[in-house]
Amino acid sequence: MRKIGVIGLGHVGATIAYTLVTKGIADELVLIDSNEDKAVAEEYDLRDTLSRLDTFTKIIPQDYTALKDADVIITAFGNISAIKMDGDRFGELNYNAAVVAEVAQKIKKVGFNGVLINISNPCDVITTLLQRQTGLSKKQVFGTGTFLDTARMQRAVGQAVHEDPKNISGYVLGEHGESQFTAWSTVEVKGHTIEDAAAVCGLDLADLDHRARRGGWLIFSGKHYTCYAITTCAIKLALAVLSDAHLACPTSVYLENYGHYIGYPAVIGRQGVVEINKIKLTIEEQAKLDNSAKIISEKLTSLH
């Protein structure tokens, strides 16, 4: 029995719920939103798909107690109207920090002991707050973080070299935000270093890094939200937990040396973060990671 909860049914949460149901990933799906009418609307829209699907999902609306035995909770709450077109995901900070206090208390009260995957922005700060306030272990809580930004880097490099983005490997690290960076020392195109690809194709790595970082804002400027890519990331991570896949990927994970969550390579399985996948960075890349961690830390401090 695979049971998943989604808290927050905006564009992203609703798309996740739809994907979980239509792909038959969840046997039971708990839907929770601060807007009861929205939750009921999503519930019935999903129920109306069931007679045309090959699988069945039991849909449970607005019931925190039903999360007690859930395998995974995905948090996707937010206030998208607080985001401005200036590239600052911290626009939602105060709103979402307040929501964390309410949501975490309810999750803790029902005795949930599964894995929590956070999407809500600013992802690294909110993931840190959720872990602290739910009391779940640092392995049980992680965020989508730079898993999405790495996909955007793969898209940008793939377009530049005319390759399927799945043939691009490597990591975007740091904050899921403006201080993120592509760790070019980790990037390969079909097993060849990015330096080799750049020499052949005349790539401008700084420009590609910019395209990866600004990719989300390109989408946001056109439709005023993003949903498909982040949903795909969340679903892949949830499946990694459900199947104990030991998926190696960058997510927002807790690093002891920083004392908070940040985008970094990890291995995801049934218990959540199976291990932190320590990698060797260049001196310049390490400095960028340290700087990004400092920004996250400052935002956390500002909430006290």
To the question of whether residue 8 is assigned a binding role by annotation, the answer is yes
pLDDT on residue 54: 97
Question: Which amino acid is residue 76, in one-letter code?
Answer: A
Residue 58 has pLDDT above 80, yes or no: yes
**How many C-beta atoms lie closer than 10 Å to residue 10's C-beta?**
18
pLDDT tens per residue, range 262-295:
999 999 999 999 999 999 999 999 999 999 999 9
Mean predicted lDDT score pLDDT of the chain: 93
Q: Which residue is catalytic, options 176, 224, 260, 304? A: 176
**Two structure tokens written together for 198:** 């750049």
pLDDT on residue 86: 53
To the question of whether residue 143 is assigned a binding role by annotation, the answer is no
Reported as a pLDDT band with limits 50, 70 and 90, residue 210 is: confident
Mean pLDDT, rounded, for 160-174: 95
CA angle 37, 38, 41 (to 5 degrees): 85
Mean pLDDT, rounded, for 234-245: 98
Residue 215 has pLDDT above 90, yes or no: no
pLDDT on residue 72: 98
Identify which of 166, 164, 182, 145 has the alpha carbon closest to the alpha carbon of residue 266. 145
Name the residue with higher pLDDT: 286 or 221: 286
pLDDT tens per residue, range 1-50:
999 999 999 999 999 999 999 999 999 999 999 999 999 999 999 999 99
Percent of the chain residues topping a pLDDT of 90: 82
Q: Has domain 3-143 been given CATH number 3.30.70.3040? A: no
Reported as a pLDDT band with limits 50, 70 and 90, residue 87 is: low
Mean pLDDT, rounded, for 197-212: 78
pTM of the prediction? Answer: 0.96
Active site residue 176: yes
pLDDT tens per residue, range 119-137:
999 999 999 999 999 999 9
pLDDT on residue 260: 98
Mean pLDDT, rounded, for 154-162: 92
Reported as a pLDDT band with limits 50, 70 and 90, residue 224 is: confident
For residue 85, count CB atoms less than 10 angstroms from its CB and return exposed for 0-12, middle for 13-18, buried for 19 or more.
Answer: exposed
To the question of whether residue 12 is assigned a binding role by annotation, the answer is yes
pLDDT on residue 206: 87
Q: What is the largest CA-CA distance in the chain?
A: 57
To the question of whether residue 33 is assigned a binding role by annotation, the answer is yes
To the question of whether residue 257 is assigned a binding role by annotation, the answer is no
pLDDT on residue 258: 98
Q: Give the E-state strand segments of 110-259 in sequence order.
A: 115-118, 141-143, 168-173, 181-189, 192-193, 247-255
pLDDT on residue 202: 74
User: What is the domain partition of the chain in residue ranges?
Assistant: 3-143
To the question of whether residue 263 is assigned a binding role by annotation, the answer is no
Q: Which of 18-32, 181-195, 208-222 has the lowest mean pLDDT?
A: 208-222
CB-based burial, 247-269: b 16+ in 10 Å, e otherwise: bebbbbbbbeebebbbbbbbbbb
To the question of whether residue 185 is assigned a binding role by annotation, the answer is no
